[in-house]
Amino acid sequence: MVNLLRKIFIKNYQNVGDDHVRTAHGSLAAWFGIVSNLILVGLKLFAAFYLYYQSNWTVLSIALIADAANNFVDMASSIITLIGFKVASKKPDQEHPFGHQRAEYIAALIVALLILVVGVELLRESITKVAEQIPVDYSLTTVIILGVAVLLKLLQSYVNFGIGKCISSLVLRATAIDSLLDAIATTLVLLAALFAISPLGWNFLDGWVGIFLSLFILYEGAMVAKDALSPLLGERNDPDLEEKIKKIAFSHKEILGIHDLIIHSYGATRNYVSFHAEVDESQSLLSAHNLIDEIEKEIKHELRVEVLIHIDPVAIGDEEFEAFKEKVVQLARNVDQNATIHDFRIIQKDDYRTLSFDVLLPYEDEGKEKAIAESVIHHFKEIDPKFHFDIDFDHPF
């Protein structure tokens, strides 16, 4: 169904790397959400006020109102998502040279704030209803409406997940999960209605379901806020993209190693990459430059990212160099088996030599820097007291 919608409403729908095509996907998902959520709000408000009418305008179902309010927030979310995709599709300009795609995350954050406000208000109303012990008598009409609502929410989740997967959209994937959880929440209201019209006559569950839905809405809002803030603050490298970059680089036999690979993401299709590439120091500067230039062009063409590569010359066939480096690796791993060494150099100056290298440590192993440095310095000072050391510690991106 998702591919059918894409074929009907999106021109060149398979070219998801194109900003215009991506925006069209986002707009399709947003309009689907606006229309379907509007239908859900109407159905649930009709059911709520139908019960209100049946009770001679005395009892209003807080669970139905809470569920309708949740769908109204979802509709507002779809509208904000639509605006977010429109802003994100703007081309880079003088003030924003990295584009505007982070507008999607800002849109998601606004949605999260709306969800939290609605959740707090509904929680207050639900607690009041439980405290006053107000019963609600549901009807068969309500049960049918709620059943349709559950099916429509499941369809929303399916469409949003499908489109979100096609364009790697955090916002749409979050919306898909939101719709799935909403289907579960509406199922709870449906169960409360079934218990009310059953021979058990349990018509006291409405307020309790309202409390649960309110807490559910608050949790949902907190999760959406977390997902929106994380990319704005800066996340770790995308493992899949990182692996593709390494595969292209290592397809050139002249590349001996890669380190300090950083992916700066300004949106789903706005990635800026930099890394250090190790090459044989005997290779001419012109030859190394041409190699790096070729790799940069390949990565940009195949992965649609901007890339900058720094050349690191490495001594090949130097027995002392290899022995010293191997010993440094061994000493570092004696302290932390996850430690890795890069940018290893032996710098000769006047009558002393400097061992210069970087140690890469996982974040969870912070605190071992001093022990690694002391181990290396102690060992090589015994070999030559004139050794100097330039040791830097960093963490994976």
The pLDDT tens digits of the residues spanning 135-156 come to 666 678 888 888 888 899 899 8
Pick the CATH number of 239-394 from 3.40.50.150, 3.30.70.1350, 2.60.40.10, 3.30.450.20: 3.30.70.1350
Q: Is the pLDDT higher at 58 or at 271?
A: 271
If DSSP codes are grouped into helix, strand and coil, which group holds residue 276? strand
Q: Are 74 and 178 within 8 A, CB to CB?
A: yes
Helix or strand or coil: residue 205? coil
Strands 306-314 and 352-360: unpaired
What are the start-end ranges of the E strands in the chain? Answer: 257-265, 271-280, 306-314, 340-349, 352-360, 388-394
| Mean per-residue pLDDT over the chain, rounded | 84
CA angle 81, 86, 90 (to 5 degrees): 140
More confident residue, 14 or 255: 255
Confidence of residue 174 (pLDDT cuts 50, 70, 90): confident
* Interacting residues of 374 by C-beta distance below 8 A, sequence separation 6+: none
Write the DSSP assignment of 97-133 as a string of letters: TT-STTHHHHHHHHHHHHHHHHHHHHHHHHHHHHHHT
Dump the DSSP string for 131-173. Answer: HHT------HHHHHHHHHHHHHHHHHHHHHHHHHHHHT-HHHH
Region of 63 on the Ramachandran plot (φ > 0 left; ψ -120 to 50 alpha; else beta): alpha
Mean pLDDT of 115-130: 77
Q: Is the pLDDT of residue 241 over 80?
A: yes
Domain ranges of the chain: 2-233, 239-394
Would you say residue 345 has pLDDT above 90? Answer: no
d(C-alpha 45, C-alpha 42), whole Å: 5
Pick from 220, 211, 219, 225: which is nearest to 65 by CA? Answer: 211
Distance, CA of 124 to CA of 167 (rounded, Å): 39
Asked if 141 contacts 147 with a C-beta cutoff of 8 angstroms, the reply is: no
Smallest CA-to-CA distance from 75 within 105, 121, 48, 44 is with 44
In this structure, what DSSP letter does residue 60 have?
-
pLDDT band at 346 (very low <50, low <70, confident <90, very high): confident
For the residues 78-98, what does the mean pLDDT come to?
78
pLDDT (mean) for 322-328:
90
- Taking residues 103-121, report their average pLDDT: 78
* DSSP code per residue over 22-33: HHHHHHHHHHHH
Average pLDDT on 85-97 reads 78
Q: Which pTM was predicted?
A: 0.61
Q: Print burial letters for 95-121: b (CB count within 10 Å at least 16), e (below 16).
A: eeeebbbbbbbbbbbbbbebbbebbee
Please check whether residue 53 is in contact with residue 142, taking contact to mean a CB–CB distance below 8 angstroms: no
3 state SS of 80: helix
Superfamily of domain 2-233: Cation efflux protein transmembrane domain (1.20.1510.10)
DSSP three-state, residue 58: coil
Residue 293 has pLDDT above 90, yes or no: yes
